[in-house]
Amino acid sequence: MAKPDNREDNVEHLQNSIDNTIENMEQTEAYLDEHADEISPQEKETLQEKNQRRENSLQSFRSEIQDESEHQQS
């Protein structure tokens, strides 16, 4: 028998994901600021691309939170 769909804590989980993603982005930026002259251009580009993907993920998380909020109101 399938478990019922319990979406009560989805927003909380999504917010935790947002918080963790922002923290990872900030740590990467701090690393780049501190070690930019010590790392290869390839590594720098890789880290910048990773942060761009994280930014895209943040947009998706925020959209999901909006969807969940609308779902909970109905």
Range of the domain at 52: 7-73
In a domain, 42, yes or no: yes
- The DSSP string of 21-72 is HHHHHHHHHHHHHHHTTTS-HHHHHHHHHHHHHHHHHHHHHHHHHHHHHHHH
> For residue range 31-72, what is the model confidence (pLDDT) as tens digits?
999 999 999 999 999 999 999 999 999 999 999 999 988 877
Residue 23 belongs to a domain: yes
pTM (2 decimals)?
A: 0.83
How many domains does the structure of the chain reveal?
A: 1
